Amino acid sequence: MIRYYEKERIFKLDTPHTSYVIGIVDEENFIGHAYYGPRISDAGVGALMRTDEPPFVPSKNNRDRSSFLDAFPSEYPGNGVGDYRESAIEVLDANGNTAVQPLYVKHEIYAGKPGIPGLPATFADDGDCETLEITAEDAILHLEVKLYYTAFSDVDVITRSVRVKNLAKEPIFLTKVMSAALDMDAEDYEMLTLHGSWARERQIEQRKIGYGRQNVASTRGESSHQEHPFVALVSENCDQEHGRVYGFHFVYSGNFLAQVEKNQFDSLRIIMGIHPQDFRWELSEGETFFAPEVVLTCSQQGLGGMTRTLHDLYREHLIRSPYKDKERPILINNWEATYFDFDTEKLLAIAREAKESGIEMLVMDDGWFGCRNDDNTSLGDWTVNEEKLAGGLKHLVDEVNRIGLKFGIWFEPEMISPESKLYRAHPDWAIALPGRTPCRSRNQYVLDLSRKEVRDYVYEAVASILRSANIEYVKWDMNRQLTDLGSAVSGARGQGELLHRYVLAVYELQERLIGEFPDLLLENCSGGGARFDPGMLYYSPQIWCSDDTDAVERLKIQEGTALIYPLSAIGAHVSDCPNHTVGRVTPFETRGNVALAGTFGYELDITKIPKEDRAQIPGQVAQYHKYHALIQSGDYYRIASYSKNHAYDCYAVVAKDKSEALLTFVQVINRPNYHSRRIRVPGLAPQKRYLLEPGGEIYYGDTLIHAGINIPNMWGDFQSVRLHFTEVTEA
């Protein structure tokens, strides 16, 4: 899978259908990129680095050293030594200089994949991957840079990460450490990214790549609603099933930079890593900085090929929860049902009605603690408000369990309200800048989790609640982003470490939580989908996709999310109408069909919704149980996009063995005098026969793939239909 050709000084990394080639060049041992694309048999592609043509390598033409460095396709470009493109690493040394240039020293190839201390990362058994570890060094700074590449044997993925160690006696400051860099010919690639806002997360945008630097980034302390730590290069006229795609995804939950730079020679440099803004990390002698992981994938089968590869990777090599392959309980969350206005009897009434309809878990959201009757108070005071919950939390949980439902609870552990006992006792625990007017958001501050005593308090506050009753699910929320970047204890030299230490602290807290409560179903959330990233999937098997639960808006949000994340990770619920975010009224059936492309649950007051809606819930619950295994593990195919055609949406999930498929069609806008729509069903086995439900017709797979079927025009807007195809096995 990974081979080193000593004579050519070439590394070749192979996945099932792709190859990645690295070369060591010249006497100075520059580390160059030769090739990444469809799998090749030949390792002799070092000439693709163009070192045998002007400006030539420095040993042959050192008078034009800068010209060489500014054109050489570097695997991990240094800073300030002649390459004027974006660097992958920058430092501040004892002399105030910023130059650094890592050069090859040695390498090691071994089975398996090492973890990254304190950080989430993909994993695999020794037989499922191999790792190349290249040790580079800047001999002037005595700075060691280790580049890690892992090639998987079951998915077309290469992962990259970096470790930087100070071998000198004096400290050095890292001011930029990217996790990956890749140089390649520009050809005809366009740039695909996911942008958004609160309630509009992960909207797909594709655009031409112009000269200069174009990027997506977050400096909000989290991966953010606004941008996503992902970028893809797609060939011209690429679609779901045709064309070449390179995908880059950052396994991290904080500030990031994902950048594409087109230069004077029509080559592209892609970099991805922690955003250098407000980043300054001190490395003392012998200390190591661990940079997060980047996932790289290359597809020759268009966007759909990339999608299915990433889905498989995250399901099999990132999500660790025991719920990874288990049926998730269908929950009902009381947030949109009651907001802050509830008590024990109200929750039990919802639980009783939910049980009658087949729902399996009640989740108590915000408002159960301190004096929390609105969002202006009590964050940090994680003690039960017994004026609301008469008899206490355990009494409520026991009663819900007696009804026959599991119980879950909401926390926002990272935050502190200025109106709280905790803030009055420890105002210095809030992240703040001395002398400046504090910047509140949702009338709350952020706790300084870089401090151990704060982390310990937060953990014990959450864990003590979970120990007190039979709580089987936690929704971990974060409703504001970071500002006022100041820690009361970091000192002047440590303030630039705050943002990254904060993310490490969140990871530490969640690792402790699932360590003590291994059977807990943890769902991450951040004002909806502001921290929906691969890093969080390492700790929770599902993430709340968006606070916008409107079925029509969710079509676009879930399309962008499912482009790179498995449906089993997408928190999706049926909510009440008019929808609480946009005021739209959609049929209850359509709301259920859209939410089925996710974890599936309810966000409404089941005691108050119309009887005709409530009557549909048992059927929706039955549909979830029928299809959950297929949706959780099947291959996802995007057939039509409402965000592009503005009329209808269509997608399918096909079993790995091609034995069944579930197709969902949503007619968003009806049009007068319009015929039925022909839908072709991809992913089936051509020579298998399939029974269509409803209807009872039998089709060959190749008929459905190439000729398709007609879906009649439906009366009204926001209508939907779900089609189930099952293999016919009898003669």
Catalytic residues: 477, 547
- Encoded tokens for 274: 């922690």
Which residue in 97, 33, 96, 28 sits closest to 65, CA to CA? Answer: 28
Which residue in 643, 649, 684, 680 sits closest to 665, CA to CA? Answer: 649
List, in order, residues 6 or more apart from 557 with CB less than 8 Å away.
196, 200, 201, 202, 203, 529, 545, 546, 548
SS3 (DSSP) at 643? helix
List residues bridging with 602 in a β-sheet. Answer: 332, 574
Question: What sign results for the dihedral spanned by CA atoms 320, 321, 322, 324?
Answer: negative
SS3 (DSSP) at 718? coil
On whether the CB atoms of residues 498 and 454 are closer than 8 A, the answer is no
Between helix 588-595 and helix 551-562 the angle, nearest 10°, is: 10
**H or E element at residue 249:** strand 245-251
On whether the CB atoms of residues 157 and 247 are closer than 8 A, the answer is no
Residue 238, CA distances (Å) to 231, 305, 676 in order: 15, 11, 27
- Encoded tokens for 60: 């042959």
DSSP code of residue 430: B
User: How open is the CA angle 188-190-193, to the nearest 5 degrees?
Assistant: 165
Cα pseudo-dihedral 697, 701, 702, 704, rounded to 10: 50
| Cis-peptide, bond into residue 292, ω within 30° of zero | no
Which residue in 361, 410, 364 sits closest to 599, CA to CA? Answer: 361
List residues bridging with 282 in a β-sheet. Answer: 173
Which residue in 280, 290, 268, 256 sits closest to 90, CA to CA? Answer: 280
237: region left, alpha or beta (phi > 0 left; psi from -120 to 50 alpha): left
